[in-house]
Structures are given as structure tokens and as C-alpha cells.
Structure 1
Amino acid sequence: MTEEKLYTINEIIKDAGIARSTFDKFAESNNLRPVKTEKRGKKFYSLKDKELVVSHYLNGKGKEEKEKYTNHKAERHDEVVDLLKEQVQQLKQANEQLVHDNDILTDQLRAKDEQIASAHQLADQAQKLHLGMEQQMKMLTGSPDSPVVDGETTEANNEPSKDEKPVQETSDTKKANHNSWWRIFFHN
């Protein structure tokens, strides 16, 4: 008596051109039972079982199901590709918007930098004018060593010393002093 050749699941699915999960579903729905199972769980099927599976998926309804599944897979692939193209387009638009916003912010930052530079320049000019006015005030008061605070000399220098007599100014003297002060201020 010759022993019948047995086939592993891998041999059957290779000949039928199907996946392992497809074989498992088919075996369960058609009540296929392995003829032999090794200790490690490796299953063997008869030639009859192998032919049933192979003929079902190569010639029968299984072929139609397989083609339907394959076509569905291709349709699904096209849907995924279309979805990815749409997402890429959206990302491109978002990137363009970000670049545009970045350009606007860069221009605003440049304008602010120019305003700050202008403010620094004006502050420098104000300091120079203030220093020039202090120097002119020193010249008008006649004492180059007297400190000037906020455009005025200190009170110690405005009071006459004990040896000096206060000079009473007449209206003509006041007018002459006033005119000479403005002339010094605007002609220098």
C-alpha cells in the first residue's frame, strides 16, 4: 500500500495563488480538516483537498472572487493616490500661505528696524542739541566752569560773592542783555 502524498498549507496556497488568510477562510467554510498535524502544529492536507482549493481559485467561483478582490484593491489604490494628491495640493497651498505671511512679517520687521534706527538718530540729535545749549548757557553766564543742570547754572554761582556789590540793572541794560543772548544763541 503506497502512502498518499500530503501537502502543506504553503504548497497549496502557492499553487492556488492565494494568501494564507484566504486559505484559512476557505478551509473553514468548506470544512477542510488536515489529514495530519505534527507536534509543532504544521498541518498536512490530502491531494483531494489541494485539488479542491486550487480548482476553486484557478477556475471556479474563487477566481471571480479573487479578481473582484484584486480589482477592488486597484480601485482602493487609485482612491488613496487621489486622496494623497489632494493632501499634497493642500500642503502646497498652506506652504505658499506661510511663505507669503513670512514675507509680510519680514517687511514689517524691516520697517520697525528702520523706525528704531530713526529714533536712535533723533535721540542722538537731541543729545547734541542739549549739549550745545548747555555750552551756550555757560557762555552767557560767563563762567565756563560752572555746571549746568537742565539748562540752568547752579544757585551758588548766581549769588554775588561777599566782596561784590549787587548790580542793579536798568531797563536798558536788561534789554541789551536780552538781545545779546538771543543773538549768541541763534548766530552760533
Structure 2
Amino acid sequence: MSEEKLYTINEIIKDAKIARSTFDKFSKANNLRPAKTEKRGKKLYSLKDKELVVNHYQSGKGKEEKEKYTNHKAERHDEIVELLKEQVQQLKQANEQLVHDNDILTDQLKAKDEQISVAHQLADQAQKLHLGLERQVKALTGDNEKPVVDGETNSATTNQKPSEEPTSEKKATQKSWWHIF
């Protein structure tokens, strides 16, 4: 009596050109039971079971299902390539727009930097003019006791009439507001 040849799952899926998970789903749906299970859990199937799986996925309904869910068709590859080309084109356009916007913003930033520089120069000139005017006012009023340092003024002495001299007690209490800190 000759023994029937048994096939492993790997041999069956190789001949049927399917994935292991596909075989597992098919065997569960069609109630396939292994003809023999070895000690280590290796399952062996009969020739009849093998032919059922191979025929189903090579020429039957399984072939249509397989093609439906896989990208092995040339048509699908062409569709994907076209889609990717469109996406690349869109990304190039978006990149060009971003570069253009970046150039505009860079130009605006340079203009703002120039405006800030001019504003600093004008502020510096205004401080110098103010200091010069304070010196002239002090020279005209005769109040040359305390020199003006960096635009600092003594508000108590500038508000007094030229003939009035503050007393030593008033001088001690009439410090500029900068001395508070």
C-alpha cells in the first residue's frame, strides 16, 4: 500500500502564489483540515486539498479576488505612476509658491530693518539736540552748578527762577528721579 504524498502549507502557497494569511482565510472558510500534524505542529495537507487551493487561486474565483486586492496588474501600476506624477507636479508648484513668498518676506524684512536703522539715527539725533538745548537753557539761565550728563537734568533747578538759589536742605531732597533707582 503506497502512502499518499502530503504537502506543507509553504508548498501549497508557493504553487498557488498566495500569501500565508490568504491560505489561512481560505482554509478556515472552506473547512480544510490537515491530513496529518507532526509533533512540532507542522501541518500537512493531502493532494486533493492542495489542488483545491491551487485551482481556486490560479483559475477560479480566487484569481479574480486576488487581482482585485493586489496591485499586480500593469494597469494599476500605470495609475499609480500617473497619480504620483500629479502629486510631484503639485509639490513643485507649492514649492515655487513658497520660494516666491519667502523672497517677498525677505524683501519686506530688509525694508523694516532699514526703517529701524533710520529710526535709531533719528532718535540719536533727537537726544543730541535735546542735550544741546538743555545746555543752552542752563547757560542762559545761569544754572551751571551741575553739569548735564547724558541728558540727565535736575528738575528742581530748571523750574526755579534764575535769581532763586535752593537751600542746602532743598538741594538734598531735590534729586532727579534717576537717583531713586
Which category describes the TM-score, using the shorter chain as reference length? 0.5 to 0.7
Q: 1:120 to 1:25 in 2, by over 3 A?
A: closer
- Report the 3-state secondary structure (helix = DSSP H, G, I; strand = E; otherwise coil) of the residue aligned with 1:158: coil
Q: Which runs of 5+ in 1 are unaligned?
A: 161-188
Q: Give the number of aligned pairs.
A: 158
SS of the aligned residue for 2:14 comes to helix
Task: Work out whether residues 141 and 162 of structure 2, in 8 Å CA contact, stay in contact via their aligned partners in 1.
Answer: no
* C-alpha distance in structure 2 between counterparts of 1:108 and 1:115, whole Å: 11
AA of the residue aligned to 1:73: H
The equivalences for 1:30-109 within 5 A come to 32-38=32-38, 41-54=41-54, 60-61=59-60, 65=64, 68=67, 73-74=72-73, 75-109=75-109
Residue in 2 that maps onto 1:12: 12
What are the Cα deviations for residues 67-91 of structure 1, in whole angstroms up to 9, with x where unaligned? 9559853333433333333333333
Is the contact made by 1:138 and 1:146 (CA closer than 8 Å) also made in structure 2?
no
Query: What percent identity do the matched residue pairs reach?
Result: 71
User: What is the deviation of 1:121?
Assistant: 1.1
Secondary structure class of the residue paired with 1:44: strand
The whole-number CA distance in structure 2 between the counterparts of 1:46 and 1:146 is 115
- Partners of 1:52 and 1:146 lie apart in 2 by 112
Q: Shift of residue 115 of structure 1?
A: 1.6
Indicate the SS of the match to 1:127.
Answer: helix
TM-score by length of 2: 0.60
Q: CA deviation at 1:14?
A: 1.9
| CA deviation map 1:124-155 (0-9, x unaligned) | 112222222233334434564477768x9553
State the structure with more CA Rg: 1
Contact 1:146 1:153 in 2 (8 A): no
Q: Which residue of 1 aligns with 2:162?
A: 157
Counterparts of 1:107-186 in structure 2 under 5 Å?
107-141=107-141, 144-145=144-145, 153-159=158-164
Counterparts of 1:103 and 1:19, CA distance in 2: 53
Instruction: Work out the CA distance in 2 between the residues paired with 1:30 and 1:143.
Output: 113
- Aligned to 2:44, the other structure's residue is in SS state strand
Where do 5+ consecutive residues of structure 2 fail to align?
Answer: 148-152, 166-181
Q: TM-score, normalised by structure 1?
A: 0.58
Q: What is the Cα-based RMSD across aligned positions, in Å? A: 3.9
